[in-house]
Every structure is written in structure tokens, then in C-alpha cells.
Amino acid sequence: MSSHRAAIDVRSGQASHVAAAGVLVILGASGDLTKRLLMPALYNLACDGLLPDDFAVVGMARGDGTTETFRSQQRQEIARFHTRRSFDEQRWQWLESRLHYTAGEFGDPEAYSQLRELVAKVAAGTAAADNTLLYLAISPDFFAVVNQQLAAAGFTRLPGRKRIIVEKPFGKDLASAHALNQSLLSLWSEDEIYRIDHYLGKETVQNLIAFRMANAMFAPLWNADHIDHIQITATETVGVETRGQYYDKTGVVRDMLQNHLLQMMAYVCMEPPESLDPDVVRDAKARLLEAVRLPGPDDVERDCVRGQYGQGVKADGTPAVGYREEPNVDPHSNTPTFAAIKLHLDNDRWAGMPVYLRSGKSLWKRGTEIVVQFKGQAESNLLIFHIQPYQGVEIRMQAKRPGPAFQLQRAGMRFDYADTFEASRGTGYEVLLYTALNGDPTLFSRTDFVEASWRVMQPVLDAWSETPAGDFPNYESGTWGPRAATTLLEQDGRHWHECLSREVLCRSAFFANAPTVLLNTLVLAFRPLAVEAGATVVERGDSTCDLYIVCRGALEAVGAADERLGIVREGECFGEMALLLNQPRSATVRAVAHCDLLVLDAEDFQRIIADFPQAEADLRQIAASRGA
């Protein structure tokens, strides 16, 4: 094992040290990946003192340019894309002085000869000469030709350590991934190929390993005897926007599930590795994927849901176009932008326990979470890993309410990175570049893992290609996704855990100025409810009184003669007066369009009102202002 391994001793918590000397060669250095992510990540490493003096970056791209123009361009871009609270001019100058550039077409052998000469020149006489990283920040369409040219120019025969870093998508299906693997392995050894997944650079994803290895109190519970099911969700509020040409050939399964979500599932469900040795960790991940039961056609029909967004309203309230109206998207496209899939793991630890994966675009909120539901009362015991945009770990449980009576209520304990550590926000690439320089492949995918992940998803892709969806679009932009995704869990007696945040609740006028303590209480108490157009939410005269908030859609209040009394719109609440006055419902409320609601049960409402008297006055004022 390298003396520069980027490991942290789980017993001592000692931090890592300066990375190994080396040269980072970026193929495609003029692209978005370089300016938005790689260069800000390198700048963060420089600011934290983790880059060695013997370090250099050599960029190559098809555009004309020189080292001077490359440095000038990166200086302009770092001002826009750096993630630190303030800009450190001295550290940037240090990094900028180590940037070099050569122009060349990807298919031109002479360009690679010039590239090798430049790499040799900048590393000459330093320790960096024995450590070369070749980062393919390019379209997968160029992988084959660039690899062949690098080999022909002698990069595969460089002295010392050398590694090639490959970005996703790694193939478009099992056959193409296997072919790409064989192409790479014909030129590089397995330990020289670093397949990168930026999700593995996120602190909370890495914290999954620390959580499993450093907290023995959970080990006896980490099995199907104690865990009811696991949900892994990655949702986005944005649509495909300018990525239509790429996305329409890809879809959500290839873009998110086959890589990011299966990576997270592997860390959560793999057998605890005996050590942090890279091969031991990657062996455990590969074995976990091998245990996934491959779905047949009937399984796909029953356990897999696909969707595509239509027109709607974005989270910020602005109109949103449908997927088929996005630039560079086929107006008749059947490409899914949403998927929810139920998987089974056939091993001793997880036999009989399902794992649900869900991801989609143009939804109601942005967030990536892993929810572990323990057995017992519904939602009583949850362990939630918040991956993004909020990073932390949360435990939801039952606790006694303050007071002389012995009454239980849902409570939570939460660890937030932002509240616990004084660290600047990163891009997620810092740790990946750092460990790659150190020759530590732990966070990079091996051939067997990549091909196993494609084997899991290939039956889904095949089944969906053979039976194109006939009901697209089947969910509005800004909603929780297609109704069938809710049904997928309901048929198992479960439901999706929509991880609310204070920011989501504050979209409602009532909660906009609510104190933090109240918001934290409500986040734990609300549950989601999706209803279709025409569905009745409450009946006039009903004595079952709950509070509802409209996240998406609109509902009408109807009187005894079926006359419309008013419209309840997004951000508004209803049901609060019946609760406050302890009276039956005065009107029927039914959905005018598909609606996503948050529901606060009557019992929880009464408890919260008792604890926060000002909330009652605010509710009365809001109800009066809309004439309810």
C-alpha cells in the first residue's frame, strides 16, 4: 500500500497529508468539466495545503491557445466557479504558475507527441516525473481514439506510476461497457484504470463507509431481521435544459441508476470490509451487486416504473416546458426522465428485504437521500443519510413529550456537516483527484463492478425498449413524479419518505416566517399525499380533521349545492379552521388538477398548536385573509 494513501484512521480520526507529487494531464481542458469542477477542486486542494510543490497541470484541447491564454482563461473562470467563502489570490497564483497547455486535434498523432514533450518538460528534475494522471474530460465518443493515440505516443510506457481517469457514462449498455473495458485493458492494466463517479467524492457518500466501520452499535441491526426496507432517492428540480442531445440517447436509468444509485446501494448494503484496503472495499462492493436478483420481464412490469415530465411549474413558481419541448429532444421521444425500481438482494444478510431506487428530473425538490426504515411502527425509526444539497445523518425515533403525562411523539437527532465542521464547500472532485494522485483506487470503479451494475439494469432497459411507453408525458414538472411510483410502494404496504426541509415548508405563506424550532417540528410531522384530478380530499361534514398544504396543483372548495366556494392554490393550506374550532368540515375539497399535498394529522396538529400558541393566531389570520 502506498505511503501516500488518503486514508483516515477510524480510531484516531487523523487527517490525511499532502498528496504525492505528480502531473495531471487533462484531455479536453477547454470544456465545462475543467472550469466548473476540476479547476475549482484543484484550487481548493491548494488552499488546504494538500498539493505538493512538485505538481503541474498540462491541458490539451482542440481549440487554439497557449499556456498564457489557458492561464488567463482559467483565472477568469475560477472567479466565477470557486466554492470558497473568499478568494485567496496567493494560492491561486501558486496554482496558476503550474498550468500548461498545448493545442491539438484528438486524432492527430503529432498533437500527442507535443503533449508528451510538454509533460516531460514540466516534470523534468522533479518527483512529478514518476507520477502521471491522464484525465479524459471528453465525450465518450472520443475515448477509443484518444486511448489509441496516447498509447501510440508512448504514454502507456511512461516511467513510474501512470493512471488514466475515465468519466461516465461508461458504456450505454452491458455490451458496450464490456467492449470499452476490453479496449482499455488492452492498453492499460486494471490498476491503472480509474473510472470516476463524482457521487463518490461527496462527503456523505464516503461517510457511509465511516458509519458502517466506526459505529459498532449499528452492526447487529444491519440486516433484514431488523430493517424493513431501504430507499435511495436522487431528485432534481431542473429538466434537461441544454443537455437534450446527450440525455435523449441516455435517459434516467443510464444517467443515474446504473452508476450513482447502485454505488450508494453497494456502500449501504455490502458486507463490512475487513479493512480500508482498496481491493478489500471494492471486492465487497462487487459481491453485493452479484447478489442482486436480475429482474425478468414480469418483474420489470410489476416492480419498475418509468416516467417523463410534461409542462408544469418549477419549484420557483415559473412555467416549465415538457421534456419533448426541450432543445435537441425528439418531439415524440419515449426517453424516461423518471424511474423507480424495486430490487432484491439474494444473500444471507438481506434476503426478503427490498431496496427501492428512485430518480427523476423536473421534480418538486432537489435532494439525494438514503432512508433506512427499521421494523416496527411506520416511520417511528428511520436512519437517513442526506447526501445533497444538505449533508448529514439523521435519526428519527420516538421520544417522550415534556410534561407530567407519558406521551410519545416523533423526534429527531441530526448531524449536519455545515454545523459540525469548519470547511469550505467543495465540488466533490477534491477527494477524487487527491486519491488518484496518491494511487488509491478505493473510490473508483473496477471492471467487475461496472459490468455487474450493467447486468442489473440491462433487463430493465431491454424490457422498456421492447414495450415503448404509450402514456408519456405522465407527470407534470414540479410534482413528485408519476402516480405509478406511489402505487409501487403502496402495493407493498409502504410509501416513499419525502425528506422535507425547512426551505420547502417556507414556500407556504404560513411557514415563511415561522421560528426554526417550529419548522424542525413540522418537518418530522408532515407526510406526503398525491391525488389525481377529480379526487375528493375531504368531504363536507367529515369530522376527521387534518391540515393540508398544497405543494403542487389546485383544489376547489364545494358547498352543499355543489357550488364552488373558492380555489385553494399552491402554497396555501386548508383544514386548519375545522381543527381550531373542532367542527366538521364546512365544504368538500377536491382536486382540480393532479395535486401533491403535505398532510399534518389532527393529533400532531393539536400537539404543535399547544406547543406554539402563535401558530394558532397566524393560521386564523391566513384563513381570514382568503375568506375561508
Q: What is the pLDDT of residue 3?
A: 36
pLDDT in tens, 61-110: 998 899 999 999 999 999 999 999 899 999 999 999 999 999 999 999 99
pLDDT at 624: 66
* 3-state SS assignment for residue 41: helix
- The confidence band for 461, taking pLDDT boundaries of 50, 70 and 90, is very high
Nearest CA among 150, 37, 24 for reference residue 99: 24
Quote the CA–CA distance of 520 and 514 in Å, as a whole number: 10
Per-residue pLDDT of 509-558, as tens digits, reads 677 777 777 877 787 788 878 888 899 998 888 877 788 888 778 899 99
Count CB neighbours of 621 within 10 A.
11
Residue 1, pLDDT score? 35
Instruction: Give the integer Cα–Cα distance in Å for 375 and 273.
Output: 25
Angle at 555 between CA 553 and CA 557, to 5 degrees: 170
22-167 matches 201-490 in fold: no
Q: For position 625, what pLDDT does the model report? A: 66
Task: Give the model's pLDDT for residue 60.
Answer: 97
Helix (H, G, I), strand (E, B) or coil at 520: helix
List 54's β-bridge partners, or say none.
none
Q: How many CA atoms lie within 13 A of 354 on its CB side?
A: 17
Q: Where residue 9 falls among pLDDT bands split at 50, 70, 90? A: very low
The amino acid occupying position 622 is I
C-beta separation of 486 from 307 below 8 A: no
Q: Are residues 352 and 224 in contact, defined by beta-carbon separation less than 8 angstroms?
A: yes
502-625 has CATH 2.60.120.10 classification: yes
- Show me where the domains of the chain are located: 22-167, 201-490, 502-625
Catalytic residue, candidates 82, 260, 386, 594: 260
17 is catalytic: no
Q: Give the DSSP letter of residue 14.
A: P
- At 153-185, the pLDDT tens digits run 999 999 899 999 998 888 899 999 999 999 999
**One-letter amino acid for residue 348 of the chain:** D
Identify the CA nearest to 548 among candidates 520, 510, 514: 510
pLDDT band at 12 (very low <50, low <70, confident <90, very high): very low
Distance CA 576, CA 555 (A): 15
Mean pLDDT of 434-439: 96
Q: Cell 424493513 maps to which residue? A: 228
Which CATH number is associated with domain 201-490? 3.30.360.10
Q: What local confidence, expressed as pLDDT, does residue 274 receive?
A: 87
pLDDT of residue 524: 74
CB 129 within 8 A of CB 21: no
Evaluate whether 63 touches 30 at the Cβ level (below 8 Å): yes
On the CB side of 424, CA atoms within 13 Å amount to: 18
Mean pLDDT, the chain, integer:
88
> Exposed e or buried b for every residue in 390-426, given b needs 16+ CB within 10 A?
bbbbbebeeeeeeeeeeeebbeeeeeebeeeeeeeeb
Beta strands in 465-546 (DSSP E): 475-476, 527-531, 536-538
**In the predicted structure, residue 7 carries a pLDDT above the cut 60:** no
Higher pLDDT, 107 or 582: 107
| pLDDT > 80? residue 409 | no
Residues of the chain with pLDDT > 90: what percent?
A: 59
Partnered with residue 136 across adjacent β-strands are 27, 166
Only one residue has cell 418509468, namely 306
Residues contacting 604, CB < 8 A, separation 6+: 409, 525
User: What is the per-residue pLDDT for 14?
Assistant: 40
Q: Which residue, among 222, 596, 234, has the nearest Cα to 386 in the 3D structure?
A: 234
Pick among 3.40.50.720, 3.75.10.10, 3.40.920.10, 3.90.1280.10: CATH of 22-167:
3.40.50.720
Q: What is the pTM of this model?
A: 0.85
